[in-house]
A and B are shown apart, each in its own frame.
Chain A
Amino acid sequence: MIVTDKLHVELGRRYRFAASHRLYTPLLSEEENQRVFGKCSNPHGHGHNYCLEVRVSGEVDSVTGMIANLSDLDAFVERHVLEQMDHRSLNEEVSAFSNCVPTTENLCMEIFERLKSFPAAKLEGIRVEETANNSFEYSGEHQKEARQ
């Protein structure tokens, strides 16, 4: 019989949402905003098709063969992220960005915070693709130390 006990298994799931944002901070002058953020600072904002990758880990349940039921994970991500961000303006409609530039770095951290209380498995990390060429990953502040 194959012994599989010591394997660390993670389940990864990808979700898509579309949202607009504008990279602008009142802490900088108009010229500084333009210099730092370039066209991302254009006054009326712009949008992206974001792809969110979520990884969770846990014991593989011997009855179901699953770390977590996908429908539970899907519902959790839908409720805590997609419903509130899909087809929204991140600056105007997501309170976390009322005083914080909605770069994808900050978006990553915000989404991680929203998902870390998923009850059925441990959130290992997330990755957000802003475009096919840019992606950002976040695993929480203590993740790295905990693994060593």
Chain B
Amino acid sequence: MIFLTRKIEFSASHRYDNPSLSPEENRRIFGKCNNPHGHGHNYTLEVTIAGEPDPVTGMVLDLKELKQILEGEVMQRMDHRHLNYEVPELAGQIPTCENIARVIWELLESKITKGKLHRVRLYESPDLFVDCYRNGTRFEA
């Protein structure tokens, strides 16, 4: 089994605010992430595909194809966007790293036709990231 990973970066703004909570509760739970006008991050997305190399091409999945999928599904939806207002898949959810990573997983999974989506890792900053796996697919080294 080979694991191939492609990395892309996108920039987006967001705000953590749950309308079902009071302003005080939102402030207590989300802290400065609740500031009214939002803020932004440079996100780094690592997408890992697991599979066997094709005997003819030697590739698990053509990186050009993966690049196009990431461009269409992630970059066009999220790059230089406000995640609260401009990404319908996140509507009604707090745009935390957890929720963004899950949405990205769901957007990508069915588009990967060669190999299998193994892991989505989304960095909100170099020190904060989320990993997403389909249950049971995680590879233990």
Contact = CB atoms under 8 A, between A and B. Distances in A.
Interface in B86-141: 89, 93-99, 101-103, 105-106, 121, 126-135, 138, 140
A65 B96 contact: yes
B97 A2 contact: no
B106 A11 contact: no
A2 B89 contact: yes
Contacts of A75: none
Contact of A60 (B99, B105, B133): B99
Given A8-B134, A8-B135, A65-B99, A144 B126 contact: no
B127 A13 contact: yes
A66 B134 contact: no
A12 interface: yes
A29 to B, nearest CB: 36
A71 B89 CA distance: 27
Interface residues of B, number: 33
Is the interface on chain A under 10, 10 to 19, 20 to 34, or 35 or more residues? 20 to 34
Given A2-B89, A4-B102, A64-B18, A11 B140 contact: no
Contacts of A71: 31
A41 to B, nearest CB: 30
User: Sorted from nearest, which 7 A-B pairs have the closest CB atoms?
Assistant: A65-B94, A65-B96, A14-B127, A10-B131, A12-B129, A8-B133, A4-B102
Given A7-B102, A8-B138, 12 more contacts: A2-B103, A4-B105, A6-B135, A7-B134, A9-B101, A9-B130, A12-B130, A55-B131, A64-B96, A66-B94, A144-B140, A148-B140
